[in-house]
Amino acid sequence: MKQSLRAKRIAMAALTAAFTLAFAGCSSGGSSDPEGSDKIVLGYYAGDAPIVYKSVTSYSTYLNAVVAARYGIDSSCAVTGSLPNTELLPFDKANGISTFAGVVNSDGGGFDADLGHSALVTDKDAMIANLVTLTKDGGFDGLNLDFENLYSADRDDYTQFVTELATKLHTGGYKLILSVAAKGAEDPSDDWSYPFDYPAIGKVADLLQLMTYDENGPDWSGPGPIAGADWVEKCIVYATSVVSPSKLLIGLPAYGYDWDLTTYANTGSYPSSFVAWTSFSDWLGKTGAVEHWNDIYLSPSVTYTTEDAHSHEAWFENAKSIEAKTALAKKYELAGISVFALGQEDLSYWQAAMAGLK
């Protein structure tokens, strides 16, 4: 069952990927006060479309950190990929935004456990050297390591790897952000989150970016919130019990998922459907669509029926749900928030996020 869940979450991660004070000492400075907030506000630059860069330039006053999530690794542990827009780094620097190279254990497909093992164990020294070189030669302020779908047996190797990587980066004056699976407790049977030893890695990284999204998804679960506030808070409570809150970012989704209930009833599987924040009105505008609000999840959903008589249930975010989740960062005195992903949101998203942080 766990291996099946792993495979489904790999597919979900691949689907979504297709589309301050803690930073003192970064060469670009970094704004410490985005729109009146004293929190880190990080956005993920994860696509090639011009709208992604436009999002950075349009909402730069809301941001003080950007992760250029454009890099992977191959079987020889060489870093692959490049920035789709060479104007990003100069723009960020001119606007006081710190820029981080985002690296995943993927060679173009989903998150690859074997590539992860090679990087962490077989070719550890070469991988660390290549990541430091990427950060330095690329003109970045630091590195965001986003290794997922790791083998549970590689837990200690991951800790050792990021410990050595952090030392190398810090020697050069660079920062390290680790993207980690969100969890409400330490569970050795959960092979998705167990590889991340929060207490150990929290000591060496500058920030842990908790991926508090994809609580539910159409490829691997029934309908439910993308990031229910109750689940997000449970993850925060655990994380702050073992890591300093000043080192934690929560992740916020700028997307939703659509479940085809009729297809599931007929086949036992849900077809994937990913929709950006800017397209949520398409759901709400469908004939007969009914919007719902859940007082526990603090999340909206919509039910509707298509012309082919298929029943659908979609979960997404709105200004109220985003404000509720960003308020948790303030409540627990976290370092800030991260948004996945730039280009999927609009001004109303940022206004809601700032309202929760103030």
344's tokens: 């999927």
Catalytic-residue membership of 148: yes
Determine the residue type at 99: T
Of the candidates 35, 87, 148, 333, the residue annotated as catalytic is 148
Residue for token digits 């070469």?
126
Q: Mark out the alpha helices in the chain (DSSP H runs).
A: 2-18, 50-58, 88-94, 113-117, 124-137, 155-171, 198-204, 229-242, 261-267, 280-284, 319-331, 347-357
Residues 6 or more apart in contact with residue 188 via CB below 8 angstroms: 152, 194
- Cis check: omega of the bond before 341, within 30 degrees of 0: yes
How far apart are the C-alpha atoms of 74 and 72, rounded to whole Å? 7
Residues 6 or more apart in contact with residue 64 via CB below 8 angstroms: 20, 23, 30, 31, 32, 33, 34, 40, 41, 42, 96, 97, 98
Catalytic residues: 148
